[in-house]
Amino acid sequence: MDLTTFLVQCLNALQYGLLLFLVASGLTLIFGIMGVINLAHGSFYMIGAYMAYALAPIVGATFGGGFFATLLAGVVLSVMLGYALEWAFFSFLYDREHLQQVLMTYGLILVFEELRSLLVGDEVHGVSPPELFAGTLPLGGLMTYPVYRLFISGVCLALAAGMYVVFTRTRLGMMIRAGSSNREMVQSLGIDIKFLYRVVFAAGVALAVLAGMIAAPVSSVYPGMGNTVLILCFVIVVIGGIGSVRGALLAALLVGAVDTFGKVLLPQAAGVLVYVLMALILLWKPEGLFKAG
Amino acid sequence: MDRSVALFVALVFLALALVPAVAGPFGIDLVSKIMIYAIFALSLELLVGSTGLVCFGQAAFFGIGAYAAVLLPAQYGALSLLWILPACVLCAAGSALIIGSLALRTRGAYFIMVTLAFAQMAYYVAHDTPVGGGSDGIYLTVKPVLGTWLDLDKPVAFHGFTLACQAAVFVFLALLLRSRFGRALAGIRVNEQRMRATGFSTYPYKLAAFVISGAIAGLAGFLFAVKDGFVNPELLSWHLSAAVLIMILLGGLGHLHGALVGAFAFALLQELFQSETIFGSFAKHWHLGFGLTIIASVALLPRGLVGVPGQLRERLLGRSARNAGNTHDESF
């Protein structure tokens, strides 16, 4: 592998890892704060990708279109979806056993997949990137790199920075951090923990949907696309330490790198490598790199 | 196990033994499949219901048993059942030893996710590497035989053999759970901290349970491969791991006969929602009704189908019956 190919793969690994981080951060937050193992989190990524495909014509007809208008519409819809789902379904799961949470959210995956099949069908769709980012950048004379992938990395980095600011510099972030370490204490200090849960859940859903929407032009849109991402995000959450956003970021970048370079260097074992990485890290640190709380 | 449960189980086995006399080829095939599911569910019941370890990767051992049933004869030629069956079970048990020794270093939610991830690893080994034959799977060309009198190619013989395996597994687990070892597992489920304080090193107990469970799942996988004559990576997929968890929860955790009931209820529900005579063209969207049923049954039947009589009694007689009848611990 020459230097240019190596650079291209590094950029790809970074982009993939950051994208996985967006989904995994919601998963780890929902687990860390509410104690819910949410298998349906991958479905939100899938829903996001299908939104990018299905909303674009609708937004185009009503608001004159535009990639960012579609993104905005998707985020608004996903916050509403997350808020409603938390109210209708997840609020019943908080004091349930992990096993029951796993099975109920698994049932939810089946329901989401079938609703998707009924509403949009089972075909594979492509989504074209916005014209603004459709071009490529020359790289080392022979190679080029699509601008859109850089845009994905940029959006993810901006969101990660935004999350950092929210967590460490705002009152809401303080309440979230406090809620994850001691639920009852936060409640007795007069903070509406139910509302906090709803906000965190809606934010987690919005992050996963947004990840799906911006990933759609690169990965295309297909049935079952949430499942691969879900299980990779589980690996990320386990490696990073459940509930730790910082751990999720580091683990997502690791997983992105191992997966991307695995596909190039050892294509036959690419699927397995990520799990080998997880096994090695668990041998070293059974509770992940950064255990929260 | 109290007398009414023993009677119920005996009646179930009797009814299963009579199936070939009354049912057609489709019925025999369906019942054989369900009995394999039941063996698989029993293997997980030992871990989840009896030891309190929620394993979300049980399909790995099922799939490894099934792949061994196809790959070993291909390597060494047609073989006797006496040789191939223990070899497949050993393959599954060996992989359970490796995976278990790592996964049991973690606990709680980590354990759930780690077992899932290891099962995915096994899935990708079957799916991507040359060993597993890719996503199309591999065909089993020669079915194992035992002398001249047991030919597993014949549905009735296969049904009988599966029934015998199911009975053997059930009796083995029932005896195991009554032994000192089984009591230690129950202690670990209820309060592992206290077990350690009493002087039990809990890790070897959990690992032994994990390996036994993996071996039984491998037996189920072996039977499945012989029944259908082919294997594919779907046998290792996490959907199967979820399905078997649903079976034991649907039947009722903490009871061996719950695993039997759950396997039957699961398979019959699946047949119901997939039936085109009832749902017409909507049958291809069977996951919708199935998913909603899973959600409803977890929400409404916390003690599973075998807990329904108790739940009804409580509803009718009020609180006093709940206090008197609630002998099984709810710690899970």
Which chain A residue has its CA at the smallest distance from B109's CA?
A98
With CA atoms as reference, the chain A residue closest to B296 would be A104
pLDDT of residue B330: 44
- Measured in angstroms, the CA of B282 and the nearest CA of chain A are apart by 10
Within 8 A by CB and 6+ apart from B10, the residues are none
* Pairwise CA distance, residues B317 & B78, whole Å: 61
Q: In this model, does residue A158 exceed pLDDT 90?
A: yes
Residue A184 belongs to a domain: yes
> For testing the chain A interface, which of B95, B111, B121 should be mutated: the one with the most A CBs within 10 Å?
B121
- Per-window interface: B 181-240 vs A, CB < 8 A: 238
**Which residue, among A30, A46, A97, A268, would best test binding to B if mutated, counting the most B CBs under 10 Å from its CB?**
A97
Q: Which of A92, A110, A120, A284 to mutate to test the interface with B (most CBs of B within 10 A)?
A: A110
Q: Which segment of A8-22, A64-78, B72-86 scores lowest on mean pLDDT?
A: B72-86
**By the CB < 8 Å criterion, does B242 face chain A?**
yes
State the DSSP code for B153: T
| Count of residues making up chain B | 332
The dihedral sign for the CA sequence A6, A10, A11, A17: positive
**CB of B30 less than 8 A from some CB of A:** no
- Give how far B274 is from chain A: nearest CA, Å: 13
Residue A110 predicted with pLDDT over 70 = yes
Q: Which of B127, B238, B245 sits opposite A103 (nearest CB)?
A: B245
Q: A278 to chain B: which residues are within 8 Å by CB?
A: 114, 117
Largest CA distance in chain B: 64
Q: Are A220 and A124 in contact (CB under 8 A)?
A: yes
Q: Name the token pair of B63.
A: 């799939």
**Chain A residue closest to B100 (CA)?**
A279
pLDDT, residue B329, reads: 46
pLDDT number for residue B332? 42
Please say if the pLDDT value at position A293 is more than 60.
no
Smallest Cα distance from A139 to chain B, Å: 32
pLDDT the model gives residue A124 = 87
Alpha helices in chain B (DSSP H): 3-22, 25-45, 59-76, 81-103, 109-128, 155-178, 180-190, 192-197, 202-228, 238-251, 256-274, 276-279, 286-300, 308-317, 319-325
CA B130 to chain centroid: 28
Which residues neighbour B288 within 8 Å (Cβ) at sequence distance 6 or greater?
Answer: A110, A111, A114, A115, A118
Let me know how many helices (H) and strands (E) chain A has, helices first.
Answer: 11, 2
| Element holding B138 (H helix, E strand) | strand B138-139
Average pLDDT of chain A to the nearest whole number: 87
Q: What is the pLDDT of residue B327?
A: 47
Over pLDDT 90: what percentage of chain A? Answer: 31
Phi, psi at residue B150, to the nearest 5°?
Answer: -125, 105
- Domain residue limits at A96: 23-225
- In the DSSP assignment, the letter for residue B284 is G
* A144 strand-pairing partners: A138
B302 touches chain A (CB under 8 A): yes
How many residues are recorded in chain A? 293
At B106, is the secondary structure helix, strand, or coil? coil
State how far residue A286 is from chain B, nearest Cα, in angstroms: 6
Is B134 in CB contact (< 8 Å) with chain A? no
User: With a CB-CB cutoff of 8 Å, which residues 45-74 of chain B face chain A?
Assistant: 48, 54, 56
Question: C-alpha angle B160/B165/B169, rounded to 5°?
Answer: 150
Question: Does residue A262 lie in a domain region?
Answer: no
At residue B281, the pLDDT reads 75
pLDDT score, position B134: 76
| Rounded distance between C-alpha atoms, residue B155 and residue B178, angstroms | 35
Q: Which of B128, B70, B126, B60 is nearest to B95 (CA)?
A: B60
Residues facing residue B139 across a β-bridge:
B230
| Contact between B295 and A107 using a beta-carbon 8 Å cutoff | yes
Residue A213 domain flag? yes
- Residue A138 β-bridge partners: A144
* Tokens of residue B164, six digits: 């015998």
- CA B130 – CA B237 distance, rounded (Å): 18
Q: Map out the domains of chain B as residue ranges.
A: 3-238
Q: What is the pLDDT of residue B32?
A: 93
Picking from B209, B215, B224, B309, the residue whose alpha carbon sits closest to that of residue B263 is B224
- What is the gyration radius of the CA atoms in chain B, in angstroms? 20
Q: Alpha helix (H) ranges present in A121-182?
A: 147-169, 171-181
CA–CA distance, B75 with B95 (Å, rounded to integer):
19
Task: Please answer yes or no on whether A102 and B56 come within 8 Å at the CB atom.
Answer: yes
Higher pLDDT among residues A11 and A144, named by residue: A11
Residues sharing a CB contact under 8 Å with residue A119, sequence separation 6 or more, in sequence order: none
Nearest CA in chain A to B240: A106
- Mean pLDDT value of segment A43-60: 89
CB atoms under 10 Å from CB of A191, counted, come to: 16
Q: Which residues of A touch B295 (CB under 8 A)?
A: 104, 107-108, 111
**Which residues make Cβ contacts (< 8 Å) with residue A123, sequence separation at least 6?**
none
Decide if pLDDT at A61 tops 90. Answer: no
Do β-strands B150-151 and B145-146 pair in parallel, antiparallel, or remain unpaired?
antiparallel
B117 interfacial to chain A (CB closer than 8 Å): yes
Which residues of B fall within a CB distance of 8 Å from A115? 288
Residue stretches of chain B with pLDDT short of 70: 1, 77-79, 142, 145-149, 319-332
One-letter amino acid for residue B13 of the chain: F
Distance from CA of B128 to the nearest CA of A (A): 6
Please give the residue of chain B at the shortest CA–CA distance from A109: B291
Query: Looking at the 3D structure of chain A, how many domains does it have?
Result: 1
Burial A8-47 (b: 16+ CB within 10 A, else e): bbebbbbbbbbbbbbbbbbbbbbbbbbbbbbbbbbbbbbb
Token duo for residue A236: 């990320």
Nearest to A231 among B120, B245, B246 (CB): B120
